[in-house]
Amino acid sequence: MKKYFKLGGVLFLVLTLSIFLTGCTKSPESVVKKMIKKMVTVDTFQFDATVGLKGAMAGLSQELQLGASESSETKIAVSGQADTSNDDDVKYLANLGIDFQSEGSDLNLNLDLLTTNEATFVKVNNAPQIELVDFSQLKDTWYKFQAEVSDASETEEDSLSASEVRKIRKLFQKVDFLKVVEDYGQEDLNGVRTYHYRVALNGEELKRFFVELKTIVDGQEPSLDEFKEIKANLDKWNDVSGDVWIGVKDYYLYKVNVGTNIDDVQSDLERFDLSLTLTNYGQPVDIQVPENAKVFDWNEVMAIPNVTVPEFSVDDLEKQLETLNLSDRELKELQKQMEEFESLGQ
């Protein structure tokens, strides 16, 4: 009897330890869920990112007067900080370095970008000189871009209420945006212990998210055509996967790496790469809105002395339009812009 009692005690101990260890082991799915919930509550953070875009990009080459190109590559380096502690005063400040490379051409642009609830501010630090126009005189000046509204009611309609913001935050917390496809275990990342996972987008959950988001913002569910558009856009990203690094102790997202080929015959983009690093969560940030920013006026910019516009004939213009393969709507929009441009000289 004592023998069976002893074996029973050992069995009970094993079962207890199994339950305890299983309860303490965090599944990758539970870690990702906790990360999403934690990120929704973030107030301040800093970020660094690099973005790579590769493809024919014929439209951009035409816009910049670079001529035809089989392939081009754009690299974007971003660094900045964010303050989301006040829903009525969310601010992002970033420096962007953009390098556009095409056959025989290499253009560099560097600018500071500040976005708030009310407006976007841009300061050009370095701008390329292209054949179409020289924007060098825009350097080192903050410009303010603000959407034009006809009246105050339109502004209120476009902005989210505090109740809508709370609903959207709750929506973020209940949607499983990502599914874990591979667990690489724990790794040290810049002195922080992290979980490293390979994740993919959860298509069905993303569809549900955008449907519910539109319902919150517009007060009604999307129409059948709108739903089909949402589905078509998300289906393009079904095969996208990437790596994430999540803090073991705090569940903050510390790094994201994504790279994918774009298999869309209608897109000039062939490849997209992103590497994003997030740091200094909850640390004080200092983002000041420029007090003397100039309201951006395209007419004023085009009238700046020494801005060079090349001479061209009607025949040259018609040849350029033929190479662009513009739709009727785009041609009408271009004609409207040309009429506005011509009015500057009157």
Residues 11-27 have pLDDT tens digits of: 344 333 333 333 345 79
State the Cα–Cα distance between residues 300 and 292, nearest whole angstrom. Answer: 17
Instruction: Name the pLDDT band for 330 (thresholds 50, 70, 90).
Output: low
Query: What pLDDT does 59 receive?
Result: 44
Query: What pLDDT does 269 receive?
Result: 78
**77 within 8 A of 96, measured Cβ to Cβ:** yes
Query: What pLDDT does 16 receive?
Result: 36
> Token pair of 240, please?
């996208």
Domain 28-310 part of CATH 2.30.130.60: no
Residues 116-153 have pLDDT tens digits of: 988 899 999 988 776 555 566 678 889 998 755 545 44
DSSP symbols for 94-155: EEEEEEEEETTEEEEEEEEEEE-SS-EEEEEEE--B-SS-B-GGGBT-EEEE----SSHHHH
CA atoms within 13 A on the CB side of 155: 10
User: What strands lie across the sheet with 294-295, from one edge to the other?
Assistant: 178-189, 192-201, 241-247, 253-261, 269-279, 44-55, 72-83, 91-102, 105-115, 120-126, 142-145, 294-295
Instruction: Name the pLDDT band for 7 (thresholds 50, 70, 90).
Output: very low
Query: What pLDDT does 76 receive?
Result: 93
Which residues, including other chains, have CB under 8 Å from residue 87's CB and lie 6 or more apart?
A: 162, 165
Query: What pLDDT does 51 receive?
Result: 93
Exposure pattern of 252-278 as b/e (b: 16+ CB <10 Å)? bbbbbebeeebeeeeebebebebbbbb
Query: What pLDDT does 322 receive?
Result: 61
Question: For the whole model, what pTM was predicted?
Answer: 0.71
- What is the amino acid identity at position 224? L
Query: What pLDDT does 101 receive?
Result: 83
Kindly give the interhelix angle for 314-324 and 328-344, rounded to the nearest 10 degrees.
Answer: 150
Query: What pLDDT does 271 receive?
Result: 85
Domain spans of the chain, in order of start: 28-310, 311-346
**281 within 8 A of 77, measured Cβ to Cβ:** no
Maximum Cα–Cα distance across the chain: 110
Kindly tell me if the per-residue pLDDT of 341 is higher than 90. Answer: no
**33 within 8 A of 23, measured Cβ to Cβ:** no
Residues 243-289 have pLDDT tens digits of: 999 999 999 999 999 988 877 766 777 888 999 999 999 999 999 99
For β-strands 294-295 and 142-145, DSSP reports them as parallel
Residues 193-228 have pLDDT tens digits of: 999 999 988 878 888 888 888 888 888 888 888 888
Residues 93-114 have pLDDT tens digits of: 999 999 988 776 788 889 999 9
Quick one: average pLDDT of 152-162? 56
